[in-house]
Amino acid sequence: MRFDSVVVNRAGRSTESWSLGPATVETPVVRVSGTRLLGAELMSRFAWTFDTRGRRVRIAAASAEPLRLPAERGTGLVLRPRGAGAGAWFEVYSGLPGTPAEASEVRAGDRLLAVDGVPVAERGCVGVTETAADSLRLTIRRDGEELELPVGVDDLVP
């Protein structure tokens, strides 16, 4: 399977808390891409029981405390997968406005080959879009030359 398209989803933190049965989720992060999605981070905070005979799903909060989802961290790079297998790489599609990517020396059209020395073919985009680090070292190919460029990581959705 090969993916070669870019979809940019919008995300933000709700200004209100939400109730899921007896559980309260404090100002959840919501992604918008045709439908409003809360995602796996929220779902992992609940115990899910599937009753196939009764055709029901029981969802119980793992804690009685209100849930607060962590900030969404990242570089702000928008990446397009290219190649396949060991030769896979990402094309930098853009840097989102107001993010560390926009302030970096990384440019649209650059080939992202490695993150902190690990080839993207081995790690995918994990570590580029989801990291606790404050900065990453990117190996970029531009105009036939390999460059090591730093890019900051920040809370994109605080």
Rounded Cα gap, residues 53 and 36, in angstroms: 29
What are phi and psi for residue 40, nearest 5 degrees? -65, -30
For residue 157, the cross-strand partners are 72
For residue 146, name the pLDDT band (cuts at 50, 70, 90). Answer: very high
Give per-residue pLDDT as tens, 94-120.
998 999 999 999 999 999 999 999 888
Domains, the chain: 10-68 (no CATH), 72-157 (2.30.42.10)
Is the pTM higher than 0.75? no
Please enumerate in sequence order all residues whose Cβ is within 8 A of that of 151, keeping only pairs 6 or more positions apart, or say none: 75, 77, 100, 101, 104, 106, 135, 136, 138
| Short-list 91, 94, 81, 99, CA closest to 11 | 99
